[in-house]
Structure 1
Amino acid sequence: MTVTRIEELSRSRCKIYLEDSFAFVLYKGELRLFGVREQEELSEESYREIMQEVLPKRATLRCMNLLQSRAYTESKLRSKLKEGGYPQESIDSALAYVKSYHYVDDLQFAKDYIVNQAGKKSKRVLEQDLIARGVSRNEIEAAFAEAAEKGDGPDELALARMWLAKKRYDPAQADFAEKRKAAAFLSRKGIRAETIRKAMELAGER
């Protein structure tokens, strides 16, 4: 395989192109170690060591470092590694390792997220957040089912009443336009129409 281009990425790292396609990122010291030079052949032995040993190990360590600061879904970790220039094989290897020790568990992530955010967000918004983080619909449904069973899910009526109270909404004083504005506000928050009607009826009551 011919090294067709070496592109400096930072003071210490370079992007390596093999046969005119981006292949991986290496530290400058590794260029010397593996004899990586533009317009020269990269030996099969060096390529195999880079792809099977150096990069999978580095990708795994990158995952572990990221997980030390906060929880990630599998999808978000994959995105982080891809941004770092890791090849797909190294990403798969790193994710297989962290998943085998349950360092990454999308179902548990969804359960924790729901419990932590239930007092601030509606079910619809929580679902959208989890989908955006790469959690599957099956895992989201399972997480909500468990939260409901334990009483940890969002109480949308309580949320809607709290938001209306913060807006100082008074059904006795509100005209049609104000009622419509309040309903639209709750709808944007992800509250269902039936719950909106009930919350607006109960607004002002203790």
Structure 2
Amino acid sequence: MIISRLLKKGNNVIIFFEDNSKIKIDYEVAAKSGLRSNDDLSDELREKLLEQDLRIRVRNGAFNYLGRRHHSFFELRKKLSAKGYDKEVIDETLNGLKDKGYIDDEDFAKRYIEEAVLRKKSGTNKIIAGLYQKGISREIINRAMNSFDNDAEMTQNAFEIAKKKLISLKNRDIEKNKLKTKLFSFLSGKGYSSDIIKKVLSNLDLNQEEEY
């Protein structure tokens, strides 16, 4: 198939053929191929260029997501699959990035836990559920949780948000005998374990008044 002309458009190159057909490939692929106008592009080479283009697009897509924030292997696979890329190429590309250290589920899990505890003030159960949703294995979750000494931090977080919730409940004139039940449900919904919740409620003054 004879190439009539090549047109660079952004990061891509459009290759036009004499039969009025065309293909679009990444500039990096086009540059390495050394193709020029009037070259005869065989079907075999055409398919090879399109395969190289696909691999670069998948790689660049993965780097684009990683540039925004850390992602788990599962998250990247899901997002790239949603774009319609070949699943085999996705897995090969992501495994290559994993081998090079660009994707690290254990590091991701540790960062996720730290942010969840320190910024979002989430409890253990909610954190574990969140990591499962990100495709992190139980083994990695256990190691990551064990590496983060968070009991004291979580208890303090639970106590602080319980105090704020207590003020809100009192402003709504919730009956005193229902306060503990409401607070227990609230903290449970935040992912805190029953042990931490009981500890917090035993130290919480249900008679406290809002300070001005």
Same fold by TM-score, threshold 0.5 exceeded?
Answer: yes
Instruction: Provide structure 1 residue ranges, at least 5 long, that are not aligned to the other structure.
Output: 1-11, 13-26, 35-41
Give the distance between the partners of 1:95 and 1:134, measured in 2 at CA. Answer: 14
Q: 1:81 to 1:154 in 2, by over 3 A?
A: farther
Q: 1:69 to 1:90 in 2, by over 3 A?
A: same
Q: 1:57 to 1:163 in 2, by over 3 A?
A: same
Q: CA deviation at 1:48?
A: 4.2
Give the distance between the partners of 1:154 and 1:133, measured in 2 at CA. Answer: 26
SS in 2 for 1:118: helix
- Residue in 1 aligned with 2:143? 142
Q: CA deviation at 1:84?
A: 1.5
Give the distance between the partners of 2:79 and 2:88, measured in 1 at CA. Answer: 15
- Residue in 2 aligned with 1:32? 22
Give the distance between the partners of 2:83 and 2:159, measured in 1 at CA. Answer: 45
Q: CA deviation at 1:157?
A: 2.1
Q: CA deviation at 1:135?
A: 1.1
Q: CA deviation at 1:121?
A: 0.7
Normalising to structure 2: TM-score of the pair? Answer: 0.68
Give the distance between the partners of 1:89 and 1:154, measured in 2 at CA. Answer: 45
Residue 191 of structure 1 pairs with residue 172 of structure 2: no
Highest Rg: 1 or 2? 2
Normalising to structure 1: TM-score of the pair? Answer: 0.70
Contact 1:60-1:93 at 8 Å conserved across structures? no
User: 2:165 is aligned with what amino acid?
Assistant: K
String of CA shifts for 1:98-120, please: whole Å, max 9, x gaps.
11221110000001111122131
The list of structure 1 runs, each at least 4 consecutive aligned residues, that deviate by more than 4 angstroms after superposition, is 42-45
- Residue in 2 aligned with 1:123? 124
User: 2:133 is aligned with what amino acid?
Assistant: A
Contact 1:72-1:109 at 8 Å conserved across structures? yes
Contact 2:158-2:197 at 8 Å conserved across structures? yes
Number of aligned residue pairs: give it.
Answer: 168
Instruction: Provide structure 2 residue ranges, at least 5 long, that are not aligned to the other structure.
Output: 1-8, 16-20, 25-41, 207-212
Identity of aligned residues (%): 26
Q: Residue 167 of structure 1: which of 165, 168, 172 is its match?
A: 165
Contact 2:122-2:192 at 8 Å conserved across structures? no
